[in-house]
Every structure is written in C-alpha cells, then in structure tokens.
C-alpha cells in the first residue's frame, strides 16, 4: 500500500503568470501569492501535477482549473520591456 503525502508549501515569493495570446504585452498578467501559507500544494498523487494557491491554478493529467482568490493580479504597465 502506497503512502500518500500531501501538504501546503509556505512561501511569499511564489507567482503565476499568463502571456495571454502572446501577441500583445498589454494582455500579459502576473499574480503574487496572497496567503503565503497556501502558496503551493505538494502531493504525490499521480494525477496531481501542480496546484498553486488554494487550487487557484491546478494542472493535472485529466483537467486544468484556474481561479484567483489566493493570488493578487499585479499592474504590469510600469514594467520595462
């Protein structure tokens, strides 16, 4: 019988991003973690590839899911390109 380990990883340095369609930098988005105690979910479940926030971004074998209650969307208008 396999032992399943899962836990929340704590960090305030985590971020997620989207390049939109990749054609216009004004559509790019970057978000920083809001709740550092639930920044990343670590699991050895085979169908759980990655989980950021409290399931804000979940990517696994079967599906993908995106929300953003645990990450703040940052203003990137002032970022030098």
Backbone phi, then psi, for 74, in 5-degree steps?
Answer: -95, 150
Instruction: Tell me if residue 38 falls in helix, strand or coil.
Output: helix
- How far is residue 49 CA from its own chain's centroid? 12
Q: 33-52: per-residue pLDDT in tens? A: 778 887 776 666 555 566 66
Q: 8-28: per-residue pLDDT in tens? A: 778 888 777 777 777 777 778
Q: Which two tokens stand for residue 18?
A: 């989207």
Q: Which two tokens stand for residue 27?
A: 């559509």
pTM, to two decimals:
0.42
Q: What pLDDT is attached to residue 80?
A: 47
């Amino acid at each position: 019988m396999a032992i399943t380990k899962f836990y929340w990883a704590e960090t305030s340095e985590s971020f997620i991003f989207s390049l939109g369609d990749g054609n216009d930098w004004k559509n790019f988005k970057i978000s920083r973690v809001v709740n550092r105690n639930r920044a990343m979910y670590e699991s050895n479940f085979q169908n759980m590839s990655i989980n950021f926030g409290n399931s804000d971004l979940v990517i696994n074998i079967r599906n993908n899911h995106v929300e953003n209650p645990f990450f703040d969307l940052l203003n990137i208008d002032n970022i030098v390109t």
